[in-house]
Amino acid sequence: MSMARILKILFKTFLITVGLILLYIIWKWNYEPTIVHNDHCTYHADVYAQLQFLKSESNHGAAERLQNDYPEGYVLFYAIYGLTWTSFIDDMKPENALYKEGITEIEKSLSAVKDSIALSRFQSYLPLEYGAFYRGWTNYLLGKYLALIPQEKRKKLDMLTFKQNCYDIACALEKNSHPFLETYSGSSWPADDVVAMASLKLHDKLYGSEYDVIIKKWLIDIQIHLDPDTKLIPHLFDGNNGKTLQGARGSSQTLMLPFLFELDTTLAKAHYEIYKSRFQFQNYGVCGIYEFPDGAHMEGDLDSGPVILGLGASATIASQRTFYVFGDRKQSKRFRNQHEMTGFPITINNKKRFLAGRMLMADVFIAWANSMEH
């Protein structure tokens, strides 16, 4: 074969490859989820396929594997997985088969976070037993579960547990010298406290305004302890001396803002505007969230995931839900479709996974964000 013939074949192959890549980008950039309408309910078919994948993975030790990768991996997996189901079945009737499946999976998640493996990474001797992360996330999930169950059908033990957790959180805060309870001895991650306080807000929606004063006081207190640079809630706090160890970061802001929205919409919107101005990146059709303010190039860690050109993986993946909660559906859709484009999702046997299912924490956060759409 002549050299001219080889070059011609190579050139055609190159053009075909470029064409296929462009077609893929156009296809994914214009992705719209499949919404199923039938006589019984309306549901997001892609989210259901994601949940089926996560359900299968949870039955084969996914959370235990994540525990080896992240200190809180086991609890966080089950918390987000359970919360995705609560969002997915939120407007379904109790007699619906999908609702029943969701309740079963949420109950499995609630059972799993009580297991010894869940408790093993947390310290029982803290002022709030097992710390703000464990008590906050597990109690928020329990509250969301109770909200799905008709009042007359709620189990007495679940209600007592939820109310006791709320009482413990409130008592620990009242005794604390600052508004951020410890997750581990000497270390406070304020995002964990925002989740814990959101569980108190859930309590008041279900059972009356018992914690309204405490929540309002806490919201005032956190504004005294904001990151002086960004005027946002800091990422890491010294639980002993009450000093900021790390200022605001994209990963924690992205995660906590939707919970802050539940606590105080006005305050949350003010923080959201700062968040967008200091952490949002959008250029050349690419959008992302900086891990550090204004895109400062610093090394990432377990909280941030990989940081590429200043953009944090965790913050960018979770931001789809944040923008949706704050009503910016257009930007949320951009993130959603960007995940579809770069995550190369595949669906096999009605089980959808991203990046071949090799990054389960990304799968569970994307499912949680997608579950907001009905």
Per-residue model confidence as pLDDT tens digits over 65-106:
998 888 899 999 999 999 999 999 998 999 999 999 999 999
Please say whether the beta carbons of 193 and 136 come within 8 A: yes
Q: What is the distance between the alpha carbons of residues 185 and 266, in angstroms, rounded to a whole number?
A: 33
Please say whether the beta carbons of 310 and 297 come within 8 A: yes
Q: Characterise 250 by phi-psi region: left (phi > 0), alpha (psi -120 to 50), beta (else).
A: alpha
* Residue with token string 């309002």: 216
Q: Hey, which bits of 299-344 come out as E strands?
A: 307-308, 311-312
pLDDT at 341: 86
Residue 326 three-state SS: coil
pLDDT at 348: 94
Low-confidence ranges of the chain (pLDDT < 70): 1-30, 39
Token pair listed for 125: 């001797």
Name the residue among 287, 318, 313, 288 with its Cα closest to residue 302. 313
Bridge partners of 187, per DSSP, are: 184, 238
pLDDT at 70: 83
pLDDT at 34: 80
* Residue with token string 């919409």: 265
Token pair listed for 98: 């999908």
| Strand 244-246 to 35-37 pairing | unpaired
Q: What is the distance between the alpha carbons of residues 45 and 94, in angstroms, rounded to a whole number?
A: 19
pTM: 0.93
Q: What is the distance between the alpha carbons of residues 296 and 250, in angstroms, rounded to a whole number?
A: 11
Q: What is the distance between the alpha carbons of residues 255 and 222, in angstroms, rounded to a whole number?
A: 17
pLDDT at 37: 81
Token pair listed for 312: 């944090």
